[in-house]
Structure 1
Amino acid sequence: MGTGNVSDQCTFNGIKLAGKVKVVDSFPDVRVKAVSSFPDVKVKKVSSFADDCGEWQFVDSFADFKIQYVDSFPDVEVAWVDSFPGLP
């Protein structure tokens, strides 16, 4: 189910949902809600080489895109996983 905002190429509004991510309080590229079931993307936190869909490396600078955690009206719903990240 999810929001349906993520394309088959694992993008949202042209932003590839992989790579270096910075968490911000305002002006995000993507508003994210963490869910336990029916996500748009399954996300794995990695420490390096965040190249594939759903692999996110959290950084403080030089991010590929910025996210803001929200409780309502998200752009993308994610589920945190330890293995097999990507589109469900």
Structure 2
Amino acid sequence: MRKLAGVFALFLMCSVASAQTSSLNTSTMNGQGGLEDCIEEVAYISPSGQAFTKTEYKEALVYMLKTGSCSYKGIKLYGKVKFVTSFPDIKIQYVSSFPDIKVQFVDSFPDKCGKWKEVSSFPDFKVEVVSSFPDLKVKKVTSFPGMN
């Protein structure tokens, strides 16, 4: 429901922006700019319904990789994790090369970057495993977890 509300809010913002632009500039009548371009610019809609442009999404990934902050969109990438099939905080894809983060599954003390403890209740964040279009690419490791 939150995603639907976020998409609706995005549609309203694009409609208002399109209406303001069309009143100032007649080029939207010729198919240049407008609602379609605004919607195409959206790259990611978070679980909370917030829309991010392609530029914002790219900047977040670059920041995360450069600073080694071990967080993604404000979600720390260590701690207790619950695997879900709907409404995840983060979508991941398991890879064998070029991961965004290396993850070590532990039984206790998931207190460092890349250390995850799988739980069934009271998670720090929820993850869905997907085969395409992930938020993060993850490699399972037995030692040296963390950001690349």
Q: TM-score, normalised by structure 1?
A: 0.93
Does 2:126 correspond to 1:66?
yes
In structure 1, what is the Cα distance between the partners aligned to 2:126 and 2:96? 22
Residue 81 of structure 1 aligns with an amino acid whose one-letter code is V
Higher helix residue share: 2
Does 2:100 correspond to 1:40?
yes
Cα distance, 1:82 vs structure 2: 0.4
Residue 72 of structure 1 aligns with an amino acid whose one-letter code is S
* CA RMSD of superposed structures (Å): 1.5
In structure 1, what is the Cα distance between the partners aligned to 2:98 and 2:113? 17
Give the structure 1 partner of residue 83 of structure 2: 23
Q: Which runs of 5+ in 1 are unaligned?
A: none
1:12 to 67, 72, 76: 72
Q: Which runs of 4+ in 1 moved over 6 A?
A: none
**Offset from partner CA, 1:29-82 (integer Å, 9 cap, x none):** 000000000100000000010000000000000100000000010000000000
Higher strand residue share: 1
**Offset from partner CA, 1:3-48 (integer Å, 9 cap, x none):** 8737120111000100000000000000000000010000000001
State the percentage of identical aligned residues.
53
Cα distance, 1:87 vs structure 2: 1.2
In structure 2, what is the Cα distance between the partners aligned to 1:87 and 1:21? 17
Greater relative contact order (Cα < 8 A, sep 6+): 1
In structure 2, what is the Cα distance between the partners aligned to 1:84 and 1:52? 10
Residue 23 of structure 1 aligns with an amino acid whose one-letter code is F
How many residues are treated as equivalent by the alignment?
86
Q: TM-score, normalised by structure 2?
A: 0.56
